[in-house]
Structure 1
Amino acid sequence: MPVIARVEHFLRRSAAAGAAKAAIVDGETRLGYAELDAAADRLAAGLAARGVKSGDRVVVLMDNIWEAPLSIFAVLRAGAVFCPVNPAASADMLAQIFGDCAPRVVLTQAKYARAATVAAAGLAAPPLIVAARAVTALPPGVAGFETLLKEEAPAKCAPDGAASDLAMIIYTSGSTGRPKGVMIAHAAMIAVSGSIAAYLDNGPDDVVLAVLPLSFTYGLYQLIVAARVGATLVLEKSFAFPHDVLARARAEGVTGLPLVPTMAAMILGLSELKPGALPALRYITNAAAALPPAHVAGLGRLFPGVRIYSMYGLTECARASFLPPGELERRPDSVGKAIPGTETAIVDEAGRPVPAGTVGELVVRGPHLMRGYWGDEEATARALRPAPTPGARQLHTGDLFRADADGFLYFVGRKDDIIKIRGEKVAPKRVETVLHACAGVREALVFGVPDPVLGHVLHAVVVRADPDLDDRAILRHCARNLPDLMVPRKIEFRQALPKTASGKVVRRLVLETGTDR
């Protein structure tokens, strides 16, 4: 077996261990590990024949289709750096990303070829656009994905590389500003995927549902971990039709269900879904945003005996913490402790550790940290600072946490989200947790509105599961469960909350959009 020094070695090893085992399921298409491995060799050869060399950036702009994981492994096998980008990105964001990473090639689908061409138009050296799944003739200058796949793979597809080489540049969602390119080395991806596989006890018998975009960290690591352990990944393009997705999960014998709070709310809203609907399911994970305790309890009732992992992660290190399922009943609102092989700490403004129960900024240490932000030394210096160990760096997350006496972590909120009311600091998440526990509330978000007397007051935006729920009932619930200064002064009802493609609510857009009672 090859030594695992680089991420693409996962695929080679799993192909050698179980050649016929299904690696990717995409609708009616099923790719075995040997088939995926051989196709990655051919596509890597096709990229190399078109000038891709070590260190070049290759954008992968695709839905969750089988060509996306193939592209990722082929880019790595060619010695290049893959840049996963969600096709739902706006035209402006796409142009910003292309301008930032200056890709040599863009691997995409025919339906996104025009958007990719427009985004690349202003570059000094426009990339080659390669499009899959064309049903008509491709535009001039756009190459066919299938053409690259016809290349004859040489015995050796790529130059020797090292674990310290850059593997990926993955862009932050841009929900709070301009997206930043997070640089992740092979060694970091190997470290964090090993940690995730260990605490989830992943193995070759697992069948993991991948409905979260592979272009975001949480979705991407479903692929990386599956390839590492030889598991099967079942690709779904969205969760817009949960009945269909869950039926597919049942048919495929899905054992792992990664989700985000939006998905949890949709699942819990399916009145006809009965306990035991996914008989092969053994674990559920959540990492994109905090899962409200009410959702945790609901999932526990719907999937009895299934382990639920509440996790915290961010693009800059993929995962930071997880809560062992055995602790879930005692600490339903905790995200646990540092993942295996890493460390976390909560520090004050001066970088000093704070006592248990005190709110401070979470810092993360370990081999899974990003290398920095592509082309942005200033932002890198703010995020990566000296750690207590000489020569080491730690990631300052910008997120506020507290820890209990046993060291378990509790997310409080983003530094920028904290609201001052009557001189006291209020974390919106605490109020949102209470709102989610109100019968008939599907989703909720709280923000501060300037007030001449109190400094700020709280307003809440709510998505109802029960159309008869009114603002008076919600306010009574809040008054019973919160101090007076934390009770929202206004409840606004929406049909939905604006989100990134990774499932995170975009607070800025909630404030910019209007009421739709």
Structure 2
Amino acid sequence: MSINCIRSLIEDANISNPDKVAVTLGHEKITYSELFTKVNQIAYYLDELNLPKKSRIGIYSNKGIDQVIAILAVLSTDYILVPLTKLLKPEQVEYIINDCNIECIITDRLKLESFESIKFDGKIISYETTHKDLPSFEEIYKYYNKPYECNISGHQNAAITYSFGLTGKPKGIVISHRNFIDSARVVSQYLNLKEDDVISGTLIFNLDYGLNQLFCSLYKRATLALHRFVLPNDFFNHIINDKVTVMPVMPVTISDMFDEEENRLPSAELLSNVRIITSSGGNVTSKMINDIEKYFTNAKFYSMHGLTEAFRSTYLDPTQLKIRPDSIGKAIPDVELYVIDEDGNECPPRVVGELIHRGGYIYQGYWKGPEETALRFKSAQILKNIINLDGELIDEIVIATGDYVYKDEEGYLYFVSRHDDMIKTRGFRVSPLEIESVVEKNILSIDKCAVFSISNEEIEEEIVLVYSASSELSAKEITFELKKHLASYMIPSKIIYKKSLPLVPSDKNKINKEELKNELLTK
């Protein structure tokens, strides 16, 4: 067994801390020993399915302890995990199923209803017993009690996670077992996580930031306290009742937490258990910082910057938060960061260039995406004007992030923009083309449309849809149709009608989004 796989963490935790509570959800809890037993039962059953080696298994369910068991069970086999956020609509799930040829789906009673509208011929496993012909975790726990052993290498592919990219369709990034272990190791190091920590499991498990909370818990033998964020009051009750000490969130969550009247917020004393707060997936505003400082008086706040192609690039030390709140910080351990111009030269302070990530935590590439992989995963030769590449090194891979940044005189980095027109909202990356394609396909009375973003301090970017048609449509009607096909975070907050849309002078087939954006901002 490799030491660089999640399976080794489960086995070690079972030996060293069998009676320690591993995962909780409200009043439910499971120890490391019980977790290990149930993971083995599900992994044994998955093995008996005799799917082709490296088959993809999707997990499409609401958050819960069984979801954690499912994730760890898949990672205890030769199969590859494909986490599917519950926010995705059936047609988006169907696209991912076909894109990576998912052979088996693990789901719950609620999401099982979605499969009535999804074309899927593979195997389905439910957490709960729902039908005599459908296998369930409940039945597997009753009948599968044989010893389970596996031998997984750290270099094996562990998961494919999907986000929305330039093509307007979800694109999968391939992550190895070693990647997951390295990310848990480095975060545990720079956050100084401890065995007696209780880590909040509010983040969804479809991307690496959420999965990292689970793996850090395993790595440190800590407790992961799951929570399904619905209302701010529920979230604060979770922090207080579960005695949370480490609170990973997205910026939009911070905004939602404090979007209440002050007399409805808990006192700082009730939140004094929290010693670490982390944020990734968007910009942190001064209001967020002030609210955190006021109510979480014992907490250190870490603002972080991650990539699609690598786990993480930077974090801002809590001591710098008030001094340079707009900075994304400096490189995390084992990473070197460079800001280069178009000629491959290092940019001096205050000059904007592309951020290049060198060192650890680089993922394997895009699933069935050679063009996307080639665009971001580059030879270290692109740094030849800056560093000494001994022996004319050509095999080392670095990430050309597509993020445009600058550094100050002390080496702190500041994000400026993306190379492409991706929209980043509520911690998610959204492709305008994805939304435009849905409009074109499903709202036939719209002639043309353009999707872009405008700045919004609370959610980073606000999605705007401008369209032309023979007559104006009800915005509610458009929103209603979009909600059938798109995740909630992809729904435009502004919908604007124009009789005609301006075109780019040099390309009459392309809508001039910059003109539309400027027109909106100058009103």
TM-score using structure 2 length? 0.78
Distance between the aligned counterparts of 1:418 and 1:44, measured in 2?
Answer: 38
- C-alpha RMSD over aligned residues: 3.0
Residues in 2 aligned to 1:379 and 1:268: alpha-carbon distance in whole angstroms: 39
User: Which digits, 9 at most, give the CA deviation of each residue in 1:307-356, with x for residues without a partner?
Assistant: 00000113322221111111212111112111111222222234432112
Matched, 1:251 2:246: no
Secondary structure, in 3 states, of the residue corresponding to 1:172?
strand
The within-5 A match list for 1:351-390 is: 351-388=344-381, 389=389, 390=393
Q: Which amino acid aligns with 1:162?
A: S
Task: Give the CA deviation at 1:147.
Answer: 2.3
Matched residues in 1 for 2:14 and 2:205: separation? 21
The answer as to 2:125 corresponding to 1:130 is: yes
1:212 counterpart (203, 209, 225)? 203
Aligned-partner SS, 1:189? helix
With over 3 angstroms needed to count, the CA separation of the structure-2 counterparts of 1:387 and 1:321, relative to structure 1, is same
Kept in 1: contact 2:303–2:315 (CA 8 A): yes
Alignment-mate amino acid for residue 126 of structure 2? A
> Any residues of structure 2 matched to 1:86-235 within 5 Å, and which?
86-116=85-115, 118-121=117-120, 126-134=121-129, 137-138=130-131, 142-158=134-150, 160-173=151-164, 177-235=168-226
Structure 1 residues 68-105: Cα deviation after superposition (integer angstroms, max 9, x where no partner): 11111111112211111112201221011000111221
Query: Helix, strand or coil: the match of 2:91?
Result: helix
Q: 1:142 to 1:397 in 2, by over 3 A?
A: farther
Counterpart CA distance in 1 for 2:95 and 2:465 is 32
Query: Any conservation in 1 of the 2:108–2:126 contact (CA below 8 Å)?
Result: yes
The answer to whether the 8 Å contact 1:54/1:78 transfers is no
> How do 1:432-443 and structure 2 match up within 5 A?
432=455, 436=457, 442=458
Say if 1:63 and 1:190 are closer, same or farther in 2 by CA, change over 3 A: same
Could you tell me how far apart the structure 2 residues matched to 1:65 and 1:155 are? 25
**Residues 174 and 382 of structure 1, relative CA distance in 2, 3 Å threshold:** closer
SS at match of 2:420: helix
SS in 2 for 1:142: coil
**The residue matched to 1:83 in structure 2 has which SS?**
strand
CA separation of 1:349/1:205 partners in 2, compared to 1, >3 Å: closer, same or farther?
same
| Residue in structure 2 matched with residue 241 of structure 1 by the alignment | 231
Counterparts of 1:212 and 1:234 in 2: how far apart (Å)? 11
1:78-89 equivalent positions in 2, closer than 5 A: 78-89=77-88
Match of 2:414 among 402, 410, 421: 410
What whole-Å deviation, never above 9, does each CA across 1:160-208 have from its counterpart, x for those lacking one?
A: 2211100111111459821111001111111121111111111211101
Distance 1:162 1:264, change over 3 A: same
Is 2:402 aligned against 1:398?
Answer: yes
Whole-angstrom distance in 2 between the partners of 1:290 and 1:338: 17
1:509 to 476, 480, 492: 492
SS of alignment partner, residue 298 of structure 1: helix
User: Take 1:234 and 1:418, find their aligned partners in 2: how far apart are those partners?
Assistant: 33
Q: Secondary structure at the match of 2:24?
A: strand
CA gap 1:100/1:148 in 2 versus in 1, 3 angstroms: farther
Distance 1:148 1:164 in 2: 30
Residues 209 and 233 of structure 1 are in contact (CA less than 8 Å); yes or no, is this contact kept in structure 2? yes
Q: State the 1:214 CA deviation.
A: 1.3
**Counterpart-to-counterpart distance in 1, 2:369 and 2:404:** 24
Q: Could you list the per-position Cα deviations for residues 386-423 of structure 1 after superposition, in whole angstroms to 9, with x for gaps in the alignment?
A: 1145211111222211111111111112223499xxxx
Once residues 175 and 212 of structure 1 are traced to their aligned partners in structure 2, the CA distance between those partners, rounded to angstroms, is: 25
Identity %: 26
| Cα deviation, residue 141, structure 1 | 5.3
Task: Please list every run of 5 or more consecutive structure 2 residues that lacks an aligned counterpart in the other structure.
Answer: 382-388, 424-451, 467-478, 498-519
Q: Secondary structure at the match of 2:270?
A: coil
Secondary structure, counterpart of 1:365 in structure 2: strand
- Work out the number of aligned pairs and report it: 440
Partner Cα separation in structure 2 for residue 448 and residue 5 of structure 1: 44
Q: 1:364 to 1:119 in 2, by over 3 A?
A: farther
- Residue by residue over 1:121-165, the C-alpha shift from the partner in whole angstroms, topping out at 9 and shown as x without a partner, is 3xxxx220111134xx43x8532222233453544433x221110
Contact 1:40–1:70 under 8 Å retained in 2: yes
1:284 to partner: Cα distance: 0.7
Residues 214-268 of structure 1: CA distance to partner in whole angstroms, max 9, x if unpaired?
122211111111111111111112x221112211221111001111122111222
SS at match of 1:355: coil
Structure 1 residues 192 and 213: CA distance shift in structure 2, 3 A: same
Give the match for residue 423 of structure 1.
Answer: none
Q: Matched residues in 1 for 2:461 and 2:179: separation?
A: 34
Counterpart for residue 48 of structure 1: 47
Match of 2:19 in 1: 20
1:277 aligns with 2:270: yes
Cα shift readout 1:288-321 (whole Å, capped 9, x = no counterpart): 1111233112211221231000001133222211
Question: Aligned to 1:336, which of 329, 342, 359?
Answer: 329
Counterpart CA distance in 1 for 2:73 and 2:17 is 19
Counterpart of 1:265 in structure 2 is 255
Structure 1 residues 26 and 378: CA distance shift in structure 2, 3 A: same
